[in-house]
Amino acid sequence: MDPLDILLDPLRSGIERRALAEVILLGGICGALSFWIMSFRLSYPAESLAHGLLPGLVLASLAGVPLLLGGTCGVALAAGLVALASSDPRVGADSATAVVVTGMFGLGALLALSPDAPARLEELLFGDPLGVTDSDLLASTALATLGAGTLAALHRPLCAVAFDSPGAGALGLRPGAVRLALMMLLAAAVAVAVQGLGSLLVLAVLVAPAVAVRSRASGPGRAMLSGVLV
């Protein structure tokens, strides 16, 4: 058999084609988003959102509802708890995030001990690309399209706020609104990517590309393109 046929044979199955398409879509949008996560120093909030998914994922598995719904609820709960804890001036944002991350991840681990919980918890942690359905692929396509459009539309405001926030405010931009838009896109990426990548590997694809290319990229555009390729 031709070596090329051996390499392409798995792609003749719909399962493998969906898995490959899912990984390419998520890798592309997460790689582009990675640069801005590092520029805005959102690595720790990204980690909190990723770990906050776990209780929602386990509950979704127990209830037999789509993981996307459970992950979205988990992300919303984690973000709300961080905002609530951070509102107390005696508690710093980092301390609040640390408490929420630990509590949410521990709650997810306890829920996973239920006799009715799925036997393979690692699929929730590390994902199951071969289990991607057409609806998951559609959600990833929508995320990639929305994410690419948002990053393109906000490219100049993102650059201004990331590198000179006071100057951006003086130019009439709203740094808070720009950061909020980026956080919303980050939360959407985490919630959608969980089926294919899991709650732990989501963080890797959101942070690692920027770390790998930032020292060699000469500008935001090249950094995002390099992150997508990585």
What pLDDT score does 209 carry? 78
Percent of the chain predicted with pLDDT > 90? 0
What pLDDT score does 2 carry? 61
What pLDDT score does 123 carry? 67
- Record the pTM: 0.74
Tens of pLDDT, residues 187-211: 778 777 777 777 777 777 888 777 7
What rounded mean pLDDT belongs to the chain?
75
Q: What is the mean pLDDT of residues 50-79?
A: 77
Tens of pLDDT, residues 208-226: 777 777 666 666 666 666 6
What pLDDT score does 204 carry? 79
* Cβ–Cβ under 8 Å, residues 181 and 155: no
Tens of pLDDT, residues 134-180: 877 787 788 788 888 888 888 888 888 887 777 777 777 787 788 87
Domains and CATH numbers, the chain: 34-116+133-229 (1.10.3470.10)
